[in-house]
Amino acid sequence: MADRAEGMETLLLGIDAACAPVLSELLDRGAEVPTLRELLEEGASGPLESQIPPWTASAWPSMFTGTNPGKHGIFSFLVFEGYDWDVVNASHCREPTLWELLDVRGLTSVVVNVPVTHPPNSFSGALLPGYTAPEDPEGHPEGITEDVREEIGGYRVYPRHEGASDAGQEAMIENYRELLEMRGEAFRYLADRFAPEFGFLQFQVTDSVFHERPGDWGAVQAVYEALDEQVRETLEACEPATVIVASDHGMGKYDGYEFRANEFLREAGYVRSKRGGEKGMPAWGPLRDDEGSGEGEPAILERGMALAAKVGVTSQRVGRVVDALGLTDLVLEVVPQGMVRAGTEQVDFQNSRAYMRERIELGIRINLAGREPAGVVPESDYEHVREELIAALEDVDTPDGEPVFEQVAPREEFFQGSAAEEAVDIVTVPNEFDQFLSATLAGEAFGPPTEPWNHKRAGIVAARGAAIDATAPSETEGIVDGIENAHLFDIAPTVLATLSLPSAERMDGAALPVVESAGEEQYASADRGRRVATDDSAVESRLSDLGYIE
């Protein structure tokens, strides 16, 4: 093993969906999280504003590049080429990561479980990929995944259960604990082996537990207590001079409505729909929780879904598979009309004027001629159509008379960079993130939220150690104190500053005031080469189970 006499300089602990309301609730319930509490109370801490959109696949790249999605090019779990799509992966990231920037400066990093890092690029150190990677991922350096499994007795990217219905509470909690232990043990082994100046350890199940067991505070408490143990053991083993804790977004209950944007756009004459076909994304997701009335229908649906699963098809593709298997007429006979509409109807992207491609993008894409393969809106009409849509969406109220959106704006207000044109044309920010957006065609524009718990804009950040001035004045109170107005984009520059390194001039954030900035410099841009297809039905299925893909 390498000589670890001086320990690690900076450790970044990523806790997905961590936020003050969740931590406060856990503390009120008596959760035993002394290590997290100590990090928050002894160092400087505060709320961390996430980006738009505040979801895992886009937010973590923003954190580890310090840039907005318009620069790094990842806006969602999906990446689009025309009307076709694939699950996003590391080859789609156009900006250099923290560990690549440090490699240029001759520093070594160990990165474990960070989303959208597969397939990894070469750098000094080691990487085990996180979300959107396959279950048997390629790590860096070659063979490292197998080394880790041999050393600690096994390693998984995802929990053993494949969805919320596949296991009871005790089994799921045990699966979560297993993952948390694997993260900690793998990181500590790699840190000991590579002696990095920088470590980045991410925990994802703190988010997954809310999607899979919404409102189950017993499960959430068990997850955080197991997390706290791994954080404690990691701090003791690695002895980092500086520790930064950061989340990609917050988490909370949705008390509003589900707004089905494509249904609204269809009623307004922008969206056209079709059944079956080779293009588009059928919305079969509502079938998961709907109750049918047709005799024998559950068995028929089970057989249909089982057949679909055997050919590697996830929720978006069920509609075309039902048609290919010759089951369309049968489904139409036995499934209630609401389920039929949800399961067999999809947006006809090619013949629509504007549509929501998928909900996590938080916005509307215009089917623009010259840009889209079969664009129908002339370039000369682009601004007029966009202004017309913005005005219409700004006026949408829920059945209770509350505005659906707190902001509807051109994409330029959120995304700047060479990849901005790949984003939605109109960004739609839900009101207080209490209204759930959906891209499904379900017959009505409003309904109850498909998921009762989901992402909120405010996460959390904390910093403690040799490079941190925890005495900065603050007006905040409670479990967070000392850091104000922090943004997700600020984390990468802050990490660099703790290592006495300047931030990259292309970064959209700045080092937080609790650390002394080393200024800005120009770094080499990332050369990703060719984009690599994910094309992994198992990854798509897992994302669908968690509600990330409808």
Are 297 and 240 contained in the same domain? Answer: no
Are 278 and 264 contained in the same domain? Answer: no
In a domain, 509, yes or no: yes
Q: pLDDT > 70: what percent of the chain?
A: 80
Are 114 and 249 contained in the same domain? Answer: yes
- The span from the CA of 488 to the CA of 184, in Å, is 24
In a domain, 114, yes or no: yes
Are 98 and 170 contained in the same domain? Answer: yes
Stated pTM of the model: 0.87
Are 71 and 199 contained in the same domain? Answer: yes
Are 414 and 463 contained in the same domain? Answer: no
Residue the block writes with tokens 């050393």: 151
C-alpha closest to that of 115 among 184, 43, 187, 57: 57
Are 189 and 157 contained in the same domain? Answer: yes
In a domain, 1, yes or no: no
Mean pLDDT of the chain: 86
Domain boundary at 322, 347, 372, which?
347
In a domain, 550, yes or no: no
Domain boundary at 347, 379, 413, which?
347
Are 177 and 88 contained in the same domain? Answer: yes
pLDDT greater than 90 at residue 370: yes
| Residue 34: CATH number of its domain | 3.40.720.10
> Would residue 236 be called left, alpha or beta, if left means φ above 0 and alpha means ψ between -120 and 50 degrees?
alpha
When mean pLDDT is compared across 257-266, 306-315, 326-335, the lowest value belongs to 306-315
* Phi, psi angle pair for 126, to nearest 5°: -140, 150
Which pLDDT score is estimated for 345? 80
pLDDT greater than 60 at residue 333: no
Number of domains present in the structure of the chain: 3
Cis peptide before 141 (omega within 30 of 0): yes
In terms of residue numbers, what domain contains 302? Answer: 273-347
Question: Between the ranges 37-46, 283-292, 293-302, 520-529, where is the mean pLDDT highest?
Answer: 37-46
In a domain, 207, yes or no: yes
Which pLDDT score is estimated for 318? 47
When mean pLDDT is compared across 159-168, 355-364, 377-386, the lowest value belongs to 159-168
In a domain, 4, yes or no: no
In a domain, 44, yes or no: yes
Domain boundary at 347, 376, 399, which?
347
- The span from the CA of 186 to the CA of 374, in Å, is 48
Are 407 and 507 contained in the same domain? Answer: no
Question: CB-based contacts of 285: which residues, under 8 Å, 6+ apart?
Answer: 315, 342, 440, 450, 544, 547, 550
Which pLDDT score is estimated for 276? 55
At 12, the pLDDT band (50, 70, 90 cuts) reads: very high
Are 205 and 100 contained in the same domain? Answer: yes
Give 373's DSSP letter.
Answer: T
Are 226 and 314 contained in the same domain? Answer: no
Q: What is the dihedral of CA 503, 509, 512, 517, to 10 degrees?
A: 20
406 by Cβ neighbours in 10 Å (0-12 / 13-18 / 19+) ranks as middle
Are 248 and 259 contained in the same domain? Answer: no
CA angle centred on 121, ends 138 and 359, rounded to 5°: 80
In a domain, 5, yes or no: no
- The span from the CA of 316 to the CA of 213, in Å, is 23
- Segment 82-99 shows an average pLDDT of 94
